Amino acid sequence: TVTPSRITAEPVNREERARVLEQVRQNGFTDSYQGVRISRTGRRFLVEQATVWNILDENERYAGQAATFSQWRYL
């Protein structure tokens, strides 16, 4: 089962998540994202120093975003 990324943010944090993703869309990337997320099993965890970047297609058009992180802890 795949959980849509937007659902992994708590409802109270979704507006902030959307703001950060819009900044990434405009600026290309961030390497300092931090936020509380929810695992597919319902456990809350804090992501720290995540890198989020835009994905472009072969014509350099915006196609979406991706993220990676190695620092996290359960809350």
Q: What is the CATH number of the domain that holds 70?
A: 3.30.450.20
Residues 29, 51: contact at Cβ < 8 Å? yes
Range of the domain at 49: 5-74
How many domains in the chain?
A: 1
Q: Considering the chain, what is the average pLDDT of its residues?
A: 94
Confidence of residue 7 (pLDDT cuts 50, 70, 90): confident
| Helix/strand/coil for 1 | coil
Is the pTM higher than 0.75?
Answer: yes
Question: CA-CA distance, 22 to 31, in Å (whole number)?
Answer: 14
Mean pLDDT of 22-43: 95
